[in-house]
Structures are given as C-alpha cells and as structure tokens.
Chain A
Amino acid sequence: MVRAVCDDAPMRIGRSRTKATAPVHDGLRDELAAALGDQHVHTSSIDTALYARDASVIDEGATSVVCFPATTAEVQACVRLAAAHGRPFVARGSGTGLAGGAVPCGGAVVITTTRMDEIHEIDIESGVAWVGPGVLNLDVTRRLAPYGMHFAPDPSSQQSCSIGGNVANNSGGPHCLAYGVTSAHIVALEVVLPNGEIAMLGGLDAEPDGYDLRGAFVGSEGTMGIATKIAVRLTPNPPTIRTMLIDFEAVAQAGATVSGIIAAGIVPAAIEMMDALTTRAVEDFVHAGYPTDAAAILLVEVDGLSGGVEHDLQTVSAVARANGARTIRVAADEAERAMLWKGRKSAFGAIARIKPNYYLHDTVIPRTRLVEVLAQVYAIADKYGIHVMNVFHAGDGNLHPLLVYDAREPGMTERVHAAGKEIVEASLAVGGVLSGEHGIGLEKREFMSLQFSEDDLEHQAKLRRAFDPFGIANPGKVLPSGASCGDVFSMTTEQQRALRDGGVWL
C-alpha cells in the first residue's frame, strides 16, 4: 500500500497495529439486529475484513459490524444506534471508490446501501427521478431509456458504482465536459444527518430559500450524513451523436488538437485521450480496431441537433487535420460507437494483462498545459522505473496517469508512492488541483495543504462541523489529520449522551 505523505503518521504497509475494533457481540450488534433483522447485520470475520476495503489500495480500515438497511428509517436507526454506543459510521455504496472514502476508520460501523436499490418514481414533468442510494449509475440510464432520457454523469465504473457514491464523490466521467459533474444533476436529497434527524436538502422548487445545502452535501464524501433518497435530473437524449476516433504520430499534436477544438468555440460532449501503451493494451483486450502504432489517440464525441452536429464534426476534423492527424474514423452506427467507448471504458481493466498491480491517479491541470505535464509524467515514471499509461478527460484537463507495477518487487511500492507524489506536485505547480473525480478520501488528505492554506482548510472544517459537530460521519476523511485511520475518532460520554437524547446540538 502506498504510504501517506505526512511523516508524523505513516500509514503502514500491511496490517496496522492501531486499528480500533469493538468486541463482536456487544449491545450494539443486538440492537442493530433488532432494528434491521438478524440477517442484515454482519459481524463475521470474513464480512468485516471484506467491508474494511474499497477499490483503493488502502488497507488501514477496520470494522466490527456491517449493516444492510433497506429504508430511510433503518438508516436512521443505524446512525442513532452507532452514536448511542459512541461509534462513528461510514456509508458504503458499491465500494468502487479509489481514494479510500468507504474505508472504515476509528472503528466505524459500516452502513451499506446496497439494499436501497429501488427507482421510486420517474417524474418526467419535474425532470427528475427519485432513486435509492444503492441504485447503480448505469441502471438509472437503462430505466430512463424508454422515455428518451438518461442520467448524464458517466464514470467509467458506471456499471458498478452507486448513485449514493456518485453523490458522495461528486463523480465525473467523460460526458461531464459538456453536461457537468454530478452536482449539476442532483436536484434534491433526503438525508439522515449525523445527529439522526432526517432532512430534505434542495428540492424540486427552482430557487429554495437559504443556503445551497444540497450543493454543500454533494462531494462531501460521506462526512455530512447519508443520502437515503436522491432526485436525479433527467437529461433528454440528444437526437444526433457522432463519435470520432482520431490518431496522431505525436502526443503534442493530440494536445494541440484539443486546444484547437476549444478555441474554435466547440464544447464537445466528450474528448478523451489515450496514449500508445494504453491503446495497445485496450486493442488486445477489446479488438475495436484501435490503431496500435499511434502515439496518441483522441475519442471525440459531439451531440445535439443534426445540423449543428454535422457542423461540429467538420470543424473538429479540420482542426485535427491542421494538427497532423493521421486518420479520422467516424463511427458509422451505434454498434461501432459502443465499441469505441467500450475500449475507452475498459482501459483500466485491460492493464491487468500487463502487471498485477496498478495505482490510478487523478489530478486536473489547465487544458493548455496538457502536453507539458504529460511529458513530466513520463519523465517521473521513467525516473522511478515504473510503467505508466495515460488515459484522460482531455477536454477538461483531468489526468489519469495509471502507474502499473508488481508489488512483489522489492522497493517498488515505495517508488510508486514517490512517483505519485511528484505527479501531484507537478499538477499543482502548473495551476491544477488535487482531484477531478476520485475525491480526497484518505488517499490525498495529507496533500490538501499543498493546495490550500490552513485558513482555507479551517473554513472547510467549519462547513463540515456545521453538519457534523461530533465528527461521527466518516471520520478521518478529506481534511488532514495527524492521526492514523484507526485513531481518528473519540467521543466523550457527555457528547454520547447528547446525541442519544435526540440529537441536541451542543
């Protein structure tokens, strides 16, 4: 596992000695079983080990109980019971997060939303669908297809990730370039607050009075409560979509094409770039006819009404040719389009054929610095002797360098971590930010002070405290802390009593 930057509190490779676990069959377990049903509260060593991990490389987490509520009331019961027993909690959707957001710290009770997988209502007139947090991202779009609608945010993990997880991370995806990230597609949220109360944040009303609590909650990585019903915005399907695969003999040409497209006043639905190593890996896996001898390829998609789309297609082609594009292949039909996208979305899976371990990075840089930073990424990987593959949302400067390695090689994990830190620093140095999609979680909290001042971070802490004064919602995440994952939480008996006595704000 890669070590955090903060030398005061190194996250150890392998099992931590400071994990906090409560005894397996204490009163908490029994009370949860009474509220949810015995079969929906798991304490076996297999379950607690499994649910201590998410899709990140972090293995510092530990829990003693995993709950599977089915309703808002049951989520509320889990939160209240955890607090009454002096325990924090962490919500978990599909566990596909890459930054350790669902890893339980401080002995957190894991509250899993997978049973809350109903699509409650499709309200075409209001332009929303009400869904449970456990509904999978792609399933929303599938259910909306008969209405000519879809849910726009499309992370590569959309076949597995949950809407609740999308809300927590303010997830992105290739189509966020033109359509916006998850926050722009969440209209209202029913949430269970950390004090156990239920509140509706936002609403169908166009301009609700008060602060945008809905907007503050989206992207808060589970530290402000648990969303139990979510009104997602319906996006009408564009009448025409055209998808192009463009290949280049030099990465710089691909980068210049991206800039040229934006400069021409076009905001495509998506612009994705893949480098040579990625393209070859993907082609071996998917056989979509990707040109395996290209230095870089662009996948560009434009959509809308047919006249404008044709116009944009011509402009994109002209820009690409002016920048030395070798071939421009326009998908002839929906099947070909699907295959081109399958290649892009399977890119990370394809690398398993190269090396057994990978660390997927996520930073954002100004679009015009893409080629320069890419060169630095290659140099950094080279310096540490690590393979790197690059796939990214070129349209909005969101880099995903994929460091590919074998953790069994001595010293390799440390080198991967050091390379990762340099990639983050290189991104920040050109005016970028720490994360475009994956969030901060545990993975990047010690980097937060590279981007924000202490005063800035204190203000983020104010927002969090307003929602969660006792720090019981997913402690240890997002904001830097000197403590390791096991040690992040403590609650006095007075605070415990206050929470138990009905959510009194102290």
Chain B
Amino acid sequence: MTADPSLRDFVDAVGRDDAVCVVGGRTQWSVGGEPSRSARTVQAPSGIADYHPAEMTVRLGAGTTLAELDDTLAARGQTTVVEGAPDATIGGLLAVGRSGLRRRRVGPMRDALLQLRYVSADGRLITAGGPTVKNVTGYDLCRLMVGSLGTLGCFAEVILRTRPRTVAAEWWHLAGEPFAVAAQLYRPSAVLWDGESTFIWLEGHVEDVAAQGALLAARGGRQVEGPPALPPVRSSVAPSRLAAVVRDGEAGRCVVEIGVGVVHGERPLPRAAPAAPIVELHRRLRDEFDPTRRLNPGRDPLHATESA
C-alpha cells in the first residue's frame, strides 16, 4: 500500500466500518453541518514530506497547519494560494474549499491541489492527480475532492503548487464605489467594498505596486494597515449581483469581494434549491464513494450552512 508509516497509521485509524470524522484545527468546524456525535474522530498525518522550490511543488501531510506550511515556503521565497487561519490544517482548508481574499488575482484554492492521497470509505489509500504542475492523466478527482467536506474520502497527504511570494504589498482605502477605480487597475489582489468605501490590495513587483498606488493616490486614496474587519457570515453570488446585494442590504451590513462574488455579511443570502439532476449526481457520487455514509456524517456539501 505505502511505505510511509504515518499514512499506514492513518489508514488503520480510519478503518472500514464505523462512522469517522476527521478533525483538523476546528477553524471551520460547522461548515456543512455539525458532525454526528457518534462519529469517531481521527487526525490526518502532519509534516512537510518533500519540498522542491525549483519544481514549485510541496508534499505534506493533510494535518499540517497553514502556519507550518507558510513558514517552510517563506524561507525559500515561496507561498501557495491557500489562505486561512494559521492553525487551520491544509486538509481542512481544502475540504471546505473556501478561497482567501486574493482569489481575484491568484484564482481559487482548488487550482493549487496537484495530487491528493485519501483514505476511502472501505479503508484503501487512493492517489488522485499527479506530482507535476501540469497533468491531464485520467479523471480530475482532485477537483471533486476540494470542497467535499470529507464526505468522499479522508484526506491524508497533498501535493500543492507553490508560487513566488510577492515582493511588495499595500492596502489602499478610497471613498466611494469600487467599479470605476477597479477598471483602471491591472489585476489587483483584492477589491473590497462595504457600501461606502473601497479597499484595494495591491501586490507584485515593487515598481508595479508603486505605479498602481500612484493611480489610487491621484484618486484621493490613502494607504492603510490592512483590510476592514469582515462580518462573520459568508455567502456568495455572481459578481454582477454584488451591487444589488450591497444596495438592498440583503445580507445586512456587508463587505463584498468585487469581481469574485463572495459576500461577508451579518446574515446568509437565500439560495435557490439545487436542481434535481444536481441532487441526483450528488446522491450517485455518495453512493459510489461512501455507500454506508460513514465518512464525516452530518455534513452535507449540497446544503452547506453559512457560519464563521
């Protein structure tokens, strides 16, 4: 199966029969529903197994914290697109699949996962994806698994794509609406709007951040320490709907990610019920991957409740 003892131990821990729930840093514990009390908790292996800065890949146990990953990569001038609380585990962040504020520039978190080893419901160690930054060999199980809340398999080990750390970073604050000013900029990392003022995150080469910052200064912007505090309830819409969400107050007081569609508000936005074929596909996938529903019971990716 595998020569790695920590992976073998995790396979044994997950077992084959009873309900199990993988616990990481508990930083997004109730997303998708509270896990069933009857489920036995297990923890994924942690630690950096392999890091090749020149290859731009890093292999690590799914139980590794974001802080440990970031420290290891920062020492070599790299990072990943995985963002979250420092004590969150990489496996947990991928299982929930929520991207960070940089999504507008660097893309969603799911595109960082190159290879995943997970323990299946029947106790086998499965490898999905591959160790290279480019790969179309077979089906994209990695995409299926990101955001699956651990209901299709228990993440054991991942290979992530790394990227160079940006040299310069600045947060800017301007009064007024974000749309015209965002259109003037080239790939800002984030554009946030709270209905009254706009916050912009510039990252990149020193020269580029300076040039874009000058544009913002000319529009009356000023540099600030960081983003505004984000209200606790997370929702999402199409980016074109953000103006209406802010104007109509559907989510209460909110901060929205322009160009992305994520809403940080006081209450969740109503969602349309999923279409019947989608519900059916979810049921079929669950039946294939976890027929007895023993993996992370109580969590339902299709009706993920919004919480902090």
Q: Which residues on A are within 8 Å of B, measured CB to CB?
A: 123, 125-127, 169-170, 172, 176, 180-181, 183-184, 193, 197-201, 203-216, 218-220, 236, 238-239, 259, 262-263, 265-267, 304-308, 310-312, 364-368, 393, 396-398, 431-440, 444, 448, 451-453, 455-457, 459-460, 462-467, 469, 478-479, 505
Contact = CB atoms under 8 A, between A and B. Distances in A.
Interface string B43-77: 00000000011111100000000000000000001
Interface string B208-250: 1011100000000000000000000010111110000000000
A239 B207 CA distance: 14
Given A199-B278, A203-B238, A211-B148, A307 B284 contact: no
Contact of B187 (A205, A236, A451): A236
Nearest to B168: A308
Contacts of A266: 164
B277 A197 contact: yes
B147 A127 contact: no
Contact of A262 (B54, B131, B141, B303): B54
Nearest to A451: B137
Contact of B207 (A203, A305, A364): A305
A236 B140 contact: no
B297 to A, nearest CB: 17
Contact of B139 (A205, A216, A365): A216
A219 to B, nearest CB: 5
Interface in B135-183: 135-141, 143-144, 146-148, 152, 163-165
A206 B134 contact: no
B134 A436 contact: yes
Most chain A beta-carbon neighbours within 10 Å: one of B120, B139, B147: B139
Contacts of A393: 134
Contacts of A304: 186-187, 204-205, 208
Interface stretch (B19-27, B121-129, B191-199): B121-129
A206 B56 contact: no
A205 B238 contact: yes
Given A206-B236, A462-B289, A212 B146 contact: yes
B270 interface: no
Contacts of A364: 130, 132-135
A456 to B, nearest CB: 5
A433 B135 contact: yes
Contacts of A207: 97-99, 234, 236, 261-262
A15 to B, nearest CB: 30
Contact of A308 (B111, B146, B208, B284): B208
B144 A215 contact: yes
B292 to A, nearest CB: 15
Contacts of A434: 137
B54 A308 contact: no
B77 A307 contact: no
Contacts of A460: 128, 138-139, 141
Most chain A beta-carbon neighbours within 10 Å: one of B99, B135, B277: B135
A183 B107 CA distance: 11
B37 interface: no
A360 to B, nearest CB: 15
A440 B285 CA distance: 23
- Count class of interface residues, chain B: 35 or more
Given A205-B237, A209-B304, A305-B211, A367 B54 contact: yes
A455 B120 CA distance: 10
Given A205-B237, A207-B98, A238-B186, A259 B147 contact: no
Given A123-B240, A205-B237, A267-B163, A366 B144 contact: no
A172 B134 CA distance: 9
B5 interface: no
Interface of B: 52-57, 77-78, 97-99, 103, 107, 110-111, 120, 124-128, 130-141, 143-144, 146-148, 152, 163-165, 186-187, 204-208, 210-212, 234, 236-240, 257, 259-262, 271, 274-278, 280-282, 284-285, 287-289, 301-304
B239 A463 contact: no
A432 B240 contact: no
B186 A463 contact: no
B139 A308 contact: no
Contacts of A452: 127, 138
Contact of B239 (A125, A197, A211, A437): A125
A170 B130 CA distance: 15
A23 B133 CA distance: 47
Given A265-B77, A466-B288, A311 B207 contact: yes
A194 to B, nearest CB: 11
Given A311-B205, A366-B55, A212 B144 contact: yes
Given A199-B281, A206-B262, A215 B143 contact: yes
A215 B204 CA distance: 29
Most chain B beta-carbon neighbours within 10 Å: one of A259, A267, A364, A462: A462
A409 B198 CA distance: 69
B140 A218 contact: yes
A463 B275 contact: no
A258 B222 CA distance: 40
The 8 closest A-B pairs by CB, nearest first: A307-B207, A215-B143, A206-B261, A308-B205, A204-B238, A265-B164, A462-B288, A199-B277
Contact of B278 (A213, A437, A440, A455): A213
A338 B270 CA distance: 49
Contact of B144 (A126, A262, A455, A463): A463
Contacts of B111: 180, 183-184
A439 B136 contact: yes
A209 B278 CA distance: 10
B232 to A, nearest CB: 16
A186 to B, nearest CB: 11
Given A127-B259, A199-B277, A459-B120, A469 B54 contact: no
16 contacts: A180-B107, A199-B275, A199-B277, A208-B236, A209-B301, A216-B144, A307-B206, A308-B208, A312-B205, A368-B55, A436-B135, A440-B138, A455-B124, A462-B289, A463-B139, A465-B284
Nearest to B284: A466
A430 B115 CA distance: 16
A125 B244 CA distance: 13
B204 A305 contact: yes
Contacts of A208: 236
Given A180-B107, A366-B57, 19 more contacts: A206-B236, A206-B261, A209-B274, A210-B274, A213-B278, A239-B186, A265-B164, A265-B165, A305-B212, A307-B207, A312-B205, A433-B131, A436-B135, A440-B136, A455-B124, A466-B281, A466-B285, A478-B139, A505-B284
Contacts of A305: 186, 204-205, 207-208, 211-212
Contacts of B128: 456, 459-460
Given A435-B135, A466-B281, A456 B140 contact: no
A307 B55 contact: no
A214 B144 CA distance: 9
